[in-house]
């Protein structure tokens, strides 16, 4: 352990990688980010919380030993449960030795002895240990942190991570996406632009992210992966083989002993790690006075795990396809996670992306180091780098019917960019009014209006055929640039606004509170607006179809049924009951089914008229 003393130093902000298998804390020293060791000299803190025989909660390496001896008294991989309900993780819970408390429904509570805890509370124990390690090393209090999260974490999972930080006595200044943190650790933000692939093979999960860097802004183009694929699968493969060998040699099985299996697991992990640096290794396991030994060569090891490594390549290809890039377009490849030390993994990644991946930094530490860089920016110890901030309120545009489509959500890290594609709501529409709003309410009238502008010159087409891309880009100074572009003609219009201009912290808080207070009413209003838009569309289409030649092909009964359904929908259109309107829309849809078929047949017959099949 080391200690560093500074006088009049700025607020200490640490970077934390709160991992599924292991967690780390890092900080920015005078020249570079550095991972902080605990009192035991270890940098990695296993993400395990256990209950000791003395009924004390223990964390990290001490808890890992308890997991070996008494797995039923330990909780691990709790990151998988953060911000999720029981139904979301019912299948995953079958893989864990710990139990979910009875009565857990929307909020998961796990049992530890005679007590129960939520996933954020368990994560808070891990964060407290990291905080304690940092305070001992830095010789002073640590109250602020940047914490990394997977790029795919939703709002609930991110909020659960913030809650864990607060419970641990930490003010979470930022949540940074893990792939972005990895890119920051390598200084890739200094590039003006480029495409970065971050391949993250951890202990329990595999993630692949494709980032686009433009003017210092990281945008996640696509993510993919497998939440049940990682280094643990490699360990389990070797354990399974070893257990079969042991039963064959000893004439008895040790698979039923949790303590024996966990001891064997540690031996397997040591052998696996050694094979990353040596051509062969001896796997040794001692139990009840008996010894099992087996020599494993790297060639044999590669053969055993090739299918597991290949399983990571499919998500990589899918991710590139979703991002719309080819391997040749990827400028940098970053490896994250201890399992990427395996030579077979590195060679497979290099072949797939056709580029040598970055391996200069410790793959276990790279995410924590990136978080420390972000922490240094916020603390003012890192200069001449882009300062990332967050949006105080959501930003979006008003849709047809007055509903808001949020494009950049509240608390999104900035600089940020996001885009969505919309269409026209009226036939032969040649211009679109873009109304930019700020706020958390569902209807535009309840949000703050920021700007209005017209996109003109759209090709006149039937409603729903035009493709209008609306792109939001917030720079480091909080200036929002909104661009609307007709994908068909290439015509575009841009306006710049200051999204937080004139809003005090109290006003922002009031807007957030209002969105919570009116959440149910806003949701109902949005549903009502949405179903009325759908009703408008089907009534307009039906009226148009009633003037079509196919209308005359229907029976009097069919025409009467459609007319009655239309009239009924017009009567209840203004009723403030979206369920009732939705039901009548379904009735009209069903009534016009035969009319639609006849219109299609008429169109096909017209197209084929006069043609011959040779």
Helix axes 366-379, 178-185, angle to 10 degrees: 80
Of the residues 17, 207, 233, 364, only one is catalytic, namely: 17
CA 436 from chain center: how many Å? Answer: 26
Calpha distance 129→120 (Å, rounded): 14
Strand blocks (E) in 299-422? 332-336, 389-390, 395-398, 404-408, 413-414, 416-422
Of the residues 79, 131, 144, 406, only one is catalytic, namely: 79
Asked if 345 contacts 2 with a C-beta cutoff of 8 angstroms, the reply is no
Q: Residue 322 catalytic? A: no
Q: Residue 79 catalytic? A: yes
Calpha distance 230→203 (Å, rounded): 5
Asked if 333 contacts 320 with a C-beta cutoff of 8 angstroms, the reply is no
Q: Residue 55 catalytic? A: no
Of the residues 200, 233, 364, 446, only one is catalytic, namely: 200
Q: Residue 200 catalytic? A: yes
Helix axes 119-138, 155-167, angle to 10 degrees: 50
DSSP string, 462-499: -TT---EEEEEEE-TTS-EEEEEEETTT--EEEEEE-T
For residue 274, give every residue at least 6 positions away whose Cβ sits within 8 Å of its Cβ, in sequence order, or none.
281
Asked if 584 contacts 572 with a C-beta cutoff of 8 angstroms, the reply is yes
For residue 269, give every residue at least 6 positions away whose Cβ sits within 8 Å of its Cβ, in sequence order, or none.
235
Q: What's 29's DSSP letter?
A: -
Of the residues 34, 111, 121, 178, only one is catalytic, namely: 178
Q: Hey, which residues does 290 pair with through a beta bridge?
A: 287
Instruction: Give the active site residues.
Output: 17, 79, 178, 200
């Amino acid at each position: 352990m080391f200690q560093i003393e500074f006088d009049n130093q700025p607020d200490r902000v640490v970077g934390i990688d709160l991992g599924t298998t292991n967690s780390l804390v890092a900080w920015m020293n005078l020249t570079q980010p550095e991972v902080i060791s605990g009192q035991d000299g270890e940098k990695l803190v296993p993400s395990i919380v256990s209950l000791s025989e003395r009924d004390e909660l223990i964390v990290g390496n001490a808890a890992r030993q308890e997991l070996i001896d008494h797995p039923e008294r330990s909780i691990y991989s709790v990151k998988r449960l953060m911000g999720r309900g029981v139904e979301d993780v019912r299948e995953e819970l079958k893989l864990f030795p710990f139990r979910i408390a009875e009565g857990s429904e929307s909020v998961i509570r796990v049992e530890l002895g005679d007590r129960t805890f939520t996933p954020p509370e368990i994560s808070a124990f891990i964060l407290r240990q990291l905080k304690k390690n940092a305070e001992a090393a830095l010789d002073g209090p640590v109250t602020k942190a940047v914490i990394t999260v997977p790029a795919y974490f939703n709002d609930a999972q991110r909020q659960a991570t913030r809650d864990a930080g607060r419970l641990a006595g930490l003010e979470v200044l930022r949540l940074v996406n893990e792939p972005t943190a990895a890119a920051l650790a390598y200084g890739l933000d200094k590039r003006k632009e480029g495409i970065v692939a971050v391949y993250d093979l951890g202990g329990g999960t595999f993630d692949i992210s494709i980032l686009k860097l433009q003017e210092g802004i990281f945008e996640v183009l696509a993510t993919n992966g497998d939440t049940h694929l990682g280094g643990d699968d490699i360990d389990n493969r070797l354990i399974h083989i070893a257990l079969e060998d042991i039963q064959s040699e000893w004439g008895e099985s040790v698979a039923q002993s949790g303590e024996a299996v966990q001891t064997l697991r540690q031996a397997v992990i040591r052998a696996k790690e050694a094979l990353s640096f040596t051509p062969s290794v001896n796997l040794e396991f001692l139990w009840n006075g008996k010894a099992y030994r087996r020599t494993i060569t790297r060639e044999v090891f590669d053969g055993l795990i090739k299918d597991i490594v290949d399983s990571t390549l499919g998500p990589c290809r899918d991710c590139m396809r979703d991002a719309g890039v080819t391997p040749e377009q990827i400028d940098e490849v970053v490896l994250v996670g201890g399992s990427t030390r395996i030579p077979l993994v590195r060679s497979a990644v290099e072949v797939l992306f056709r580029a040598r991946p970055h391996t200069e930094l410790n793959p276990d530490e790279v995410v924590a180091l990136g978080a420390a860089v972000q922490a240094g920016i916020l603390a003012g110890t890192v200069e001449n780098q882009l300062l990332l901030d967050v949006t105080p309120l959501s930003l979006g545009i008003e849709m047809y019917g007055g509903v808001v489509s949020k494009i950049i959500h509240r608390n999104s890290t900035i600089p940020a960019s996001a885009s969505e594609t919309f269409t026209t709501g009226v036939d032969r529409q040649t211009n679109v009014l873009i109304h930019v709003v700020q706020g958390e309410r569902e209807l535009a009238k309840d949000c703050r209006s920021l700007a209005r502008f017209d996109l003109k010159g759209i090709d006149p087409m039937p409603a729903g055929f035009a493709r209008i891309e609306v792109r939001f880009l917030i720079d480091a100074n909080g200036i929002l640039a909104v661009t609307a572009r007709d994908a068909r003609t290439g015509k575009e219009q841009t306006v710049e606004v200051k999204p937080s201009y004139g809003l005090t912290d109290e006003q922002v808080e009031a807007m957030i509170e209002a969105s919570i207070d009116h959440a149910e009413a806003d949701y109902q209003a949005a549903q009502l607006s949405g179903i009325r838009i759908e009703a408008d569309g089907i009534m307009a289409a039906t009226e148009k179809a009633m003037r079509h030649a196919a209308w005359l092909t229907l029976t009097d009964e069919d025409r009467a049924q459609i007319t009655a359904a239309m009239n009924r929908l017009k009567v209840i259109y203004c009723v403030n009951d979206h369920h009732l309107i939705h039901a009548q829309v379904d009735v009209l849809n069903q009534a016009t089914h035969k009319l639609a078929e006849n219109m299609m047949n008429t169109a096909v017959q017209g197209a084929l008229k006069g043609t011959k099949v040779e």
